[in-house]
Amino acid sequence: MPERLKHHFEPKKGWMNDPNGLCYYKGEYHAFFQHNPFAPHWDRMHWGHASGRGLLELAERQIALYPDMPYENDGGCFSGSAIEADGRLWLFYTSVSKELGQTQSVAYSSDGYSFEKYGHNPVIRENPDGGADFRDPKVGRCGGFYYMVCGSGKDGVGKVLLFRSHDLLNWEYGGVLFEDASCGPVLECPDLFPLDGRWVLMFSMMGRERRSTQFVVGDFDGERFTERSRCTPEEGPHFYAPQTFEAPDGRRILFGWLYSWSKKLDEGADYAGALTIPRELYIKGDTVRMRPAREAEPLLADSDPCVSVDGSVVSLSYGASFDFGEPVGGLRILRDTKTIEIFADNGRSATYWFGSGK
């Protein structure tokens, strides 16, 4: 059995991919995640659950969502998000069935651990734009209403769809918020959030080994998103499907999936996948940048024997290299038992898993 990560969350057994439902609720941080508890590969999806008093103190809890309803009888419970309202924690997720395909459903809890699924799920029963891909609802607040963004695509054009609600149960379609064929046929795990006086639309682009997460900076008036700039600050191949939430002190915190679909299972492991170290997002100029959350500061080093720098290029002794686009200085490095995350002072980063199954 390979050595476990010391500073990152990974499941005790089985497969994990996308972080879901990141939030702070009743004095604890919660991170749900896509999970197959039975084997270290993707299958019918559950929502795993980890929680803790601190960002680096997440411990695995009981499974939050099982695929036990007719509208989840195919792929199960796909990715989604969480929001607190009226004292409850609400989980929004994509339910997948043979009859309806990909639909959006909701469950809620008064303690953050035991969840009840809404009796009239799915709350959104079809893709109003057409097409089979319709998933990953991320819910937030804007003014006096709630908004939801979902990833989609049609005729080879990736899209983000907008919905609005006043009660979290009845949703009105607001149209296509963003679309771009150059970003791929489906835009996965979208997230729309305010940051430093702007709005940021974030999504993951399928089939890209590196720079797979797009950040689009712009303005949002509750109905339309107006783009100002784009960036891909994360360079690494083992980073995908990130999600953000607002910490109690107002910081915008991000966790990503530390693994990849093409990575081979580490020898002897009966588990796969992890969460990145938490990161804080900020705006620099017109672009989004990332740095390790301050809670991770004691774990960081200024150098590492496996890391070398030549101008804008950071190279690893494991055979990988990353071009950070600008001369690299002020490196901060977090090396765990089989992973490494490298942060440069220009707000760029690279994530790499160097375990036995590269």
Taking the C-alpha atoms of residue 216 and residue 17, their distance in angstroms, rounded to an integer, is 23
Task: Find the catalytic residue in 18, 136, 191, 266.
Answer: 18
- Which residue in this structure is represented by tokens 């953050």? 112
Taking the C-alpha atoms of residue 132 and residue 81, their distance in angstroms, rounded to an integer, is 20
Determine which helix (DSSP H) or strand (DSSP E) holds 32, and give its type and residue range. Answer: strand 28-36
Alpha-carbon distance values, 26 to 23, 30, 109, 248, 298 (Å): 10, 10, 12, 11, 26
Using only C-alpha atoms, what is the Rg of the chain?
A: 19
Taking the C-alpha atoms of residue 356 and residue 298, their distance in angstroms, rounded to an integer, is 27
Among 324, 340, 323, 320, residue whose Cα is nearest residue 332:
340
User: What residue type is 32 in one-letter code?
Assistant: F
Please say if 129 is a catalytic residue.
Answer: no
Residues 6+ apart with CB under 8 A from 49: 30, 31, 32, 33, 60, 61, 62, 63, 64, 113
User: What residue type is 42 in one-letter code?
Assistant: W
Q: Which residues are catalytic?
A: 18
